[in-house]
Structure 1
């Protein structure tokens, strides 16, 4: 059993034996609030993964404060006396589509709602806003800054828990540290998450109280428990739009059977039927809605007729495993000069990637390797590549849809693709030697029906 599986198994058993989802402080479902970040802290202590996203220096963050202050005055979602039926919280990552930068996840939602009936609330990606400036587009900077100030003030105060809760937290901490062999001060870990929740809840409650929306659309629900609870306390329906991989080892989505969580969305819009049954969502099955993603559907249709280059391999990097994957792949690429490798970096890795991953600098010296960011279409690259290599990127599913022979590298997180390689849709490999063998031989891979992952 892999370390990721052991961690998940231990947490699932503790959730059952200690009734962790019943734990409340002032009505706050505190286990739901810390569940996913606690999982990330555990795998960090075990040195299984790096940070999933590019971390900006404090100095660079300071340079963005003037823009945030400006946006707090001129793009503040709390300013104005009006109501709106729908609020859409966009993903900060945008793609160029039909001459306009869009959030590919909420694009269909916005098309159906019509601009006169919706307000868009955007957040910056690497402190930049790139979508077209519209009257109904607001920015999260005011909420971000006010929440940050409130958290700073609260962090200086004593953190006192009710006696029964403190006793339960101590018990959870003991079980956690013994079963997983980690060193986590759970009360100390809980404090910033609880303070952040309370600060955010007040601001979002105020927003929804003023705007009186009937529906709230979000991308990525874990980490947004305060927003979700504030919306529900204002009688708003909360709908999440799928943005990435959902698997039994993703603690943002997989929960014990029959558990119902208030700070989870009322409904989830999914890309295809496959995703409905892969985890135990904490909502009824009739609230899982399968809808076609127009952007992805269009990309697949455009690329299906592209002829594959028999010797082209695309490598799909990610922040969590980027350094380990680059070290392993450097040796593979160096030893296979007859293959052409496209090394595709994740958007969160752009910027300082060559100083973070030393082996990427070495790859630049190899004639058969090309590093790419967002300058080229991912789907075009997948369509032209005979093989794709990765760990748990969402793009792997897109590559399978486009007919790539798929190699999953046995690095932490590959467990998310377990069902894929168990169904022989991909090959799991353990080291550089096995990758090399897999690329040199003509293995048979099962294909999927069109629309298996994406409607």
Structure 2
């Protein structure tokens, strides 16, 4: 994933997917939190065994981490919650190893692996883009090995029997530590999966090291949309965090409101779609919603386009009020389908994620800003969104 992000950025195809901007003061405050956390949030300092480890997602709209909220409630005191505060606010009463995570990444190997150079040269010959694979390996592999050993110790000391993790491909040190000990690992889906997502798609289903045993999905659509690694099973856990609107709520929608759902990778290009639509069809209300990892200041005011940013107006609230949604590959497009939005996919890098949805007739593809205006009237409403977001099935999975 890190090589792919570097390749797509350096080639000019994508921007930064999740930009993090810290001032020097921010970094000093973060170091202070790490040091304090060694004493106040250290999972090694608590005694006793617990059945499960839960690793949530750092994003928490309204202070709620939606992907593990129901799970953490069901497990109660039998689970240790390990929630990093590096790129977000940790959950109350959670623990973390942030100090050790940052320290492990601060020391890099001085030995350049010759295989890394060969891979970098081969990738450059294939794509014309030079990616610093040797530098990534020098940083990430030693970090992984240090953290893997640390987590093995933690898992053994606390008697963990099952690890539940969100975004497993960025927590492979935890997954690897659990697999070293024969501990079951369950990943909870956090976003869109497709054959083009390098965290999940392994054509031919080869055996891949340090992968979860199971992937619990929002709905049946996600269980076979990509070829997962060999041995990884899937199950439908459902999505209790989003429900279809009632008939009165659907009737109250602003039928001329069009919400553009941005992502850091394609934000400026999608903004041009929004500005073009505002100019061509002034009768529509155009709302541009940056991704939570983006900054509203990245976008200059354009006539007819309102930029919606921050917690004062939620993404789901906007979608619940809108008649239309436009995006590229964001998970929010699927959420908007549940909430009764007519869906248009902008043909920008990454739109392939939504091609199966277009093929199913649940969305239409706009190949240019000028085409968008004519496509809006024929954009479909998804007639049944339960394939994407099924009712809650978590209790049955925990019993099974």
TM-score normalised by L of structure 2: 0.90
Deviation per residue, 1:51-82 (Å, 9 max, x gap):
11132235122232112211121111122342
Q: Which residue of the partner structure matches residue 393 of structure 2?
A: none
The answer for the alignment partner of 1:401 in structure 2 is: 338
| Structure 1, 406-415 or 171-180: larger mean CA deviation | 171-180
- Counterpart of 1:305 (choices 224, 237, 249) is 249
How far apart are 1:246 and its partner, in Å? Answer: 0.2
Query: Of 239, 244, 254, which residue of structure 2 is paired with 1:293?
Result: 239
1:120 equivalent to 2:59? Answer no
Partner SS, residue 295 of structure 1: coil
- Partner of 1:139: helix, strand, or coil? coil
Counterpart Cα distance in 1 of 2:351 and 2:314: 24
How far is 1:170 from its partner? Answer: 4.8
Cα distance change, pair 337–233 in 1 and its aligned pair in 2 (3 A)? same
- 1:217-255 deviations in Å (ceiling 9; x for gaps): 110011221111111212211110000010000010000
* 1:337 equivalenced with 2:282 (yes/no): yes
Give SS of 2:387's match.
coil
Please state how far the C-alpha of 1:344 moved relative to its aligned partner: 1.6
List aligned pairs for 1:37-436, cutoff 5 A.
37-59=2-24, 60-96=26-62, 101-113=63-75, 115-124=76-85, 126-129=87-90, 131=91, 133-134=92-93, 137-148=94-105, 151-152=106-107, 155=108, 157-159=109-111, 161=113, 166=114, 168-284=115-231, 287-297=233-243, 300-301=244-245, 305-307=249-251, 308-350=253-295, 353-354=296-297, 357=298, 360-363=299-302, 366=303, 369-436=306-373
Alpha-carbon deviations, 1:147-205, whole Å to 9, x = none? 23xx42xx2x53154xxxx3x54543343222222223533332212122122212212
Distance 1:426 1:183, change over 3 A: same
The answer to whether residue 383 in structure 2 is matched with residue 448 in structure 1 is yes
Q: What's the TM-score once normalised by structure 1's chain length? A: 0.79
- How many angstroms apart in 1 are the aligned matches of 2:314 and 2:117? 50
Q: Within 2, Cα distance between the matches of 1:301 and 1:295?
A: 13
Q: Which segments of 5 or more consecutive residues in structure 1 lack a partner in the other structure?
A: 1-35
Contact 2:266 2:349 in 1 (8 A): yes
Contact 1:266 1:283 in 2 (8 A): no
What SS is found at the alignment partner of 2:164? Answer: strand
| Residues 344 and 373, structure 1, Cα contact 8 Å, conserved in 2 | no
In structure 1, how many angstroms separate the alpha carbons of the residues matched to 2:373 and 2:260? Answer: 13
Residue by residue, what CA displacement relative to the aligned partner does 1:340-362 show, whole Å, maximum 9, x if unpaired? 12222211124xx31xx2xx331
Q: Which residue does the alignment assign to 1:5?
A: none
Contact in 2 for aligned 1:311/1:339 (Cα 8 Å):
yes
Q: Write the deviation string for residues 375-413 of structure 1: whole angstroms up to 9, x where unpaired.
A: 223333213211111111101011122222211111111
Distance in 1 separating the partners of 2:85 and 2:163: 19
* Equivalent residues, number: 388
Which residue in 2 is equivalent to 1:31? Answer: none
Matches of 1:91 and 1:302 in 2, distance apart? Answer: 29
CA distance change for structure 1 residues 177 and 423 in 2, over 3 Å: closer, same or farther?
Answer: same
Larger mean CA deviation between 188-197 and 407-416 belongs to 188-197
Distance 1:42 1:349 in 2: 20
Which digits, 9 at most, give the CA deviation of each residue in 1:359-378, with x for residues without a partner? Answer: x3313xx3563523332233
